[in-house]
Amino acid sequence: MTSPSAALSEHVQTSRRVTAPGERALRFEEYDSAGAPTGRGATFVGVEFHGLKYADLIDHKLNTPINIPLRWTNARVVESDLEGVSPEDVASVNTSLESPYSSRTIGLVQDGWLPSGMALQDNMVVMPDRCTFSELSGRFRDGAKTNEDDRDFLDLFADHTVRINPLLFALEGNVRSNPSPEVIEQQFDIACAMIRAALPLAELVPSGRGGLRGAIGIMNDTQAGMARKQEFLIRLAPMLRAPVAARRVGQIWDEVLKIADECGVPRRSLVVLAALSAVCVPNGKSPAKGLLKMNERNYSLEHAYNALADLRSLELLMHLFAMFPDEKILLCTGDKDLALFWAGIRASNFRLNEGHFECTFSPIEALLQNVTDERKSSYFQESAG
């Protein structure tokens, strides 16, 4: 069925609760046309929301109540007093959510984005970035909210045994450059302490310091590439600070690819794709320009590192999707530009081919405007590197 009830109004509240061990539920409450509750509703289990798209996020302010479309398939109804909706029905729902809750952090999933709390699924591994760690730390003490009047979808983190991986926090470090193994270890301990103080029910994965070896290995493996990409961004900054005139898009597009080659940066890497988007979207409106920090007047290696740390988080996410196709993995970020870029590039088909990572990018038109079909076709037909 396409909706749980013809009487279900556009005013919908959601809440999650556990109806059985390991079983997460979503409750719909019916509201009438005046916005008053009718006292009727339905509870679903097995709900996995489809990811939202670029267009659903572009005009949304993260600290305001959210109004978004919702879609899921094959959820089971466990209780209902709505007309036409019976327990044990299998429901596919296409409706909208008008909620008093904000979504200060965004959950990046394989097919787009969701408010972080709504994206949670049982046994999911959550990878918060540093700003999400700060948000959680300020929002909760011992699992209780510090401000009951502040309603956000992050509140759903407090009610469940959320599995949290502090890799991104530790790997980014706090020195705006590649952290040393000692800094990674220190930041890992800080991240674990922040979560234990805020959300005592959370499970840190991997437990103990066993995961540090992987974080240090990632830092060592990416250090040389990070330096080449920093040089690439430093060289681009003067030409991308101001919006690129439409008549010069082709010229600057080609120059970006030339500089990438000279710096030894693969053309099909995320940083090059982001730079191309910053070139061709009119008036500097591409989220990629904000993501790359290209609005900074005195662009520095530190700005480049911060941008590349964000892009590295997407690269890690995509690699994890390829390595563990049956695992549920969520990256949580408070960076709207990063989330828009992820939703806009529409990455898919994550796979490992003889140990080499591959995926497909299908960017939306909003990220690559004013570019000839010939240039786009040439770029996307090149081998990924």
Name the residue ranges covered by the structural domains of the chain: 1-100, 103-385
- Written as six digits, the tokens of 221 are 């493996």
For residue 382, name the pLDDT band (cuts at 50, 70, 90).
low
Tokens standing for residue 284: 């500097």
Q: What is the mean pLDDT of the chain?
A: 87
d(CA 270, CA 272): 5
* Gap between the Cα atoms of 128 and 157, Å rounded: 12
Cβ burial of 383 (10 Å; 0-12, 13-18, 19+) is exposed
| pLDDT confidence bin for 121, thresholds 50/70/90 | confident
pLDDT tens for each residue of 177-235? 888 889 989 999 999 999 999 999 999 987 766 666 777 777 777 778 899 999 999 99
Structure confidence at residue 23 (pLDDT)? 60
Q: How would you classify the pairing of strands 125-128 and 112-115?
A: unpaired
- Residues 45 and 56: their CA atoms lie apart, in Å, by 25
- Reply yes or no on whether the pLDDT at 7 is more than 70: no
